[in-house]
Amino acid sequence: MSTSGVDTVCVIGTGLIGGSLALALKRAGFCRQIIGAGRTEQTLIRAVELGVIDSYDTQIANAVVGADIVVVCVPLGAMHAAFEQINAGKDQDIVVTDAGSAKQSVIRDAESIFGAGYPNFVPGHPIAGTERSGVGAAFAELYRQRRVILTPTEDTSTAAVDRVRAMWEAAGASVDTMSAEHHDLVLAGTSHLPHLLAFGLVDCLNNLEDIDEIFCFAAGGFRDFTRIASSDPVMWRDICLSNREQVMAMMKRYRDEMEKMYRALEEYDGEKLKEVFERAKRVRDAFCG
- Please report, as residue ranges, which positions from 168 to 187 form the binding site for its own copies (by CB under 8 A): 176, 182, 185-187
Nearest-approach distance from CB 152 to its own copies, in angstroms: 17
**C-alpha–C-alpha distance, residues 37 and 59, integer Å:** 7
**Residue 283 makes contact with its own copies by CB under 8 A:** yes
Half-sphere exposure of 69 (CA within 13 A, CB side): 36
Least spacing, CB of residue 120 vs its own copies, in Å: 25
Judged by beta carbon, residue 33 or residue 130, the one nearer its own copies is 130
Task: Find the part of the chain contacting its own copies (CB under 8 A) among 4-12, 82-90, 157-165, 277-285.
Answer: 277-285
Stretch near its own copies under the rule CB under 8 A, chosen from 14-22, 51-59, 82-90, 141-149: 141-149
Distance CA 36, CA 12 (A): 6
Alpha carbons 289 and 71: distance in angstroms, whole number: 33
Contacts (CB under 8 A) with its own copies, residues 25-64: none
Q: Is 73 in the site for its own copies (CB under 8 A)?
A: no
CB 251 within 8 A of CB 197: no
The minimum distance between CB 272 and its own copies, in angstroms, equals: 9
**What distance in Å separates the CA atoms of residue 147 and residue 190, rounded to the nearest whole number?**
14
Residue with smaller CB distance to its own copies, 166 or 261: 261
Q: Assess 251 for contact with its own copies (CB under 8 A).
A: yes
Residue numbers 188-217 binding its own copies by CB under 8 A: 189-191, 193-208, 210-211, 214-217
Q: How does strand 69-72 pair with strand 95-98? A: parallel
Binding test (CB under 8 A) with its own copies, winner from 66, 117, 134, 233: 233
Each residue 146-165 as x (binds its own copies by CB under 8 A) or -, in order, gives: xx-x----------------
76 counts as binding its own copies under rule CB under 8 A: no
Distances (CA, A) of 85 to 47, 64, 134, 159: 21, 9, 22, 24
**Which residue lies nearer to its own copies by CB, 65 or 178?**
178
Report CA-CA distances (Å) from 280 to 44, 150, 189, 224, 283: 45, 29, 15, 17, 5
Site for its own copies in 93-132 (CB under 8 A): 127-131
Tell me the number of residues near its own copies by CB under 8 A.
88
Q: Does 78 bind its own copies (CB under 8 A)?
A: no
Residue 61, Cβ neighbours under 10 Å: how many? 15
> Residue 173's closest CA among 97, 108, 106?
97
Length of the chain: 289
